[in-house]
Amino acid sequence: MYNWFKTLLLMAVITALFGMMGAALGGMQGMIWALLLGGGMNLLVYWFSDQIVLKMYRARAADAQSAPDFYALVRDLAQRADLPMPRVYIIDEAQPNAFATGRDPQHAAVAATTGILQTLSPRELRGVMAHELAHVQHRDILISTIAATLAGGISAFANFFLFLGGNDRGRVHPAVTLLTVLLAPIAARLIQMAISRAREFEADRGGAAISGDPESLADALEKIHAYARRIPLKTAEAHPETAQMMIMNPLVGSKLNALFSTHPPIEERVARLRALKTAEQ
């Protein structure tokens, strides 16, 4: 219920922001058109945000024939978590990473890069996908997917007005320039308000419970962290608002890392997971 409230609040804030930008650039008529655009985008992202993100990353569907081991691993974990079988996707990127998306457990999808499939052992990969299914179980995926899509929509909205705001000499209205400059911080702040860092700790704990092996995820996180710092994920760099969906922050650039950071320190996540193992003994 709490995630539903945050989702509705985020949509309301986005619609109001669109209205204010429209009013600043086009008066009452601009505000009306902007509110209609914002409301329409809210409906669009609720139903199709998962497909938008998956297409953004050029994810390809996987099944028992095309990726038998990976598909079987996800199916077994979904059964252990008492969740419907999610759709499974593979992203052709060298950086090891993964995410879950969808509006609810009945319409969930999990995606993993080829880098993570090649880098991790089966045990470590099991820990990662258990973490992603914990996000599905906790219903984190709706707010994270919508936040990413709406934040991207803000930038698209600004570019639209940047295109329309030029005069015959190619000069752009100062208000349009100012709004464009402010968009990235606004989008980042909206994501940080909507996405709590605590959710990653909860997904780590939930994933450990699903897999029954906290140290598998701890080992995986350390390995992913070592590789991710050296290998860029081009789509995430181009669309940093999607970084918060990943199990590990995929942004290599330091400025983007700071602006769109929603992940807790890797050292603290690993320490908490190893403490869970110690507590079991």
Residues assigned a catalytic role: 132
Tokens of 166: 């030029």
| Distance of alpha carbon 267 from alpha carbon 255, whole angstroms | 21
| DSSP code of residue 112 | E
| Distance of alpha carbon 148 from alpha carbon 6, whole angstroms | 14
Contact in structure between 235 and 56 (CB atoms under 8 Å): yes
Tokens of 257: 């890392």
Contact in structure between 218 and 129 (CB atoms under 8 Å): no
| Residue 194: closest CA among 130, 252, 141, 240 | 141
| Distance of alpha carbon 111 from alpha carbon 145, whole angstroms | 13
